Structures are given as C-alpha cells and as structure tokens.
C-alpha cells in the first residue's frame, strides 16, 4: 500500500530511516498489507497516489448529484462493478477486477472491525516555528481547477 509522507503514516522518513506510526503498523498487520512510502522529493511516486483521486473525480464524481452519503456509496459501488473495475488499466493492460484476486486480500465484509491494540503515541512539538496571526491576512479566493468551477 503506497502512502504519501503524512505524519499519520510516518513519523520520520529520511533516506536511511523510516519510522512508521505504530497505529498504522498495527492496522496493516491486522489487514495483512505492507505500507510503503513515496520517496521524498520524488514527484513521480506522489503522482501514483494522487492519480487515483483524480480518476475518481473525473470519471465518477463530475456531473453527478447525490441525495445523501448512502446514495453516493450505492452508486460508486455500482460504478466500480460495472465500469471502473472491468475496463483495461492503462499501465497494466489488465482489468482491475482480474488483478485484485491475485493480491490475496480478504473482502472487507469478512474483516472484523479494527480496534488499535495500543493508543498512538502523542505527537511531539513541531520542530519548525509556528506562525500565528492576530487576524487572518486577506486572501484572494478563486477556483484552482476546472473541476472546482464545475462542481461548486
């Protein structure tokens, strides 16, 4: 499972040292996967994490409206089953539905609810100074992408 370098995943990540969050390791052990981190300062791996989000936004969310979260969940599961997981993947050349069984994952419906075996360690004080403003400086707000313009 590839992750970005967020503190909830890795407390420290240098070229020679990776210190994973204990709660994540506990979770990974429970569900039988090995977490991996994007390499720092290497945007190629970051794109692999972010591209999935963009794909769901562009191929599923744009142009659809939902009555509530249950409606969205029902429709996304249908979309996955009928479209996303049966199309040929651009990189692997194989539909995701055919690759998923090879991963050896158990269906989420068969998994017991995860409860951390120990409380996560408290975060230490930030190493960099924290800047605060008495009042927030003025900021121009505008859409950054066509997606935000269409969906807002």
pLDDT digits (tens, 9 = 90+) for 6-32: 888 888 877 778 888 888 888 888 777
d(CA 72, CA 25): 30
Tell me how far apart the alpha carbons of residues 35 and 17 are, in angstroms, rounded to a whole number.
Answer: 14
Least Cα distance to 89 among 100, 74, 75, 103 occurs for 100
Q: Give the single-character DSSP code of 15.
A: S
Give the per-residue pLDDT at 122. 56
Pairing of strands 2-3, 36-37: parallel
Residues 12/55, Cβ–Cβ less than 8 Å = no
What is the enclosing helix (H) or strand (E) of 37? strand 36-37
Supply the pLDDT for residue 131.
47
**pLDDT of res. 84:** 92
Model confidence pLDDT, tens digit, residues 134-150: 555 565 555 555 555 55
What is d(CA 88, CA 107) in angstroms, rounded to the nearest whole number?
22
d(CA 46, CA 147): 20
Q: Is 138 helix (H, G, I), strand (E, B) or coil?
A: coil
pLDDT, averaged across the chain: 76
Is-contact 84 96, C-beta < 8 A? yes
The model carries a pTM of 0.49
Under 8 Å between Cβ of 6 and 41: no
Tell me the mean pLDDT per 10 residues along the chain, length 152: 82 81 83 80 69 86 89 92 91 87 73 63 53 54 53 54
């Amino acid at each position: 499972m590839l992750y970005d370098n967020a503190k909830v995943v890795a407390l420290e990540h240098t070229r020679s040292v990776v210190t994973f969050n204990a709660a994540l390791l506990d979770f990974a052990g429970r569900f039988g996967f090995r977490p991996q981190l994007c390499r720092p300062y290497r945007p190629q791996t970051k794109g692999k994490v972010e591209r999935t989000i963009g794909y769901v936004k562009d191929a599923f969310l744009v142009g659809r409206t939902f009555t509530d979260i249950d409606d969205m969940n029902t429709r996304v599961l249908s979309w996955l089953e009928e479209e996303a997981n049966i199309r040929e993947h651009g990189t692997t050349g194989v539909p995701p539905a055919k690759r998923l069984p090879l991963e050896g994952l158990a269906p989420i419906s068969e998994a017991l609810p995860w409860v951390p075996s120990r409380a996560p360690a408290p975060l230490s004080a930030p190493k960099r100074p924290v800047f605060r403003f008495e009042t927030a400086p003025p900021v121009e707000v505008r859409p950054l992408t066509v997606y935000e313009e269409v969906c807002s």
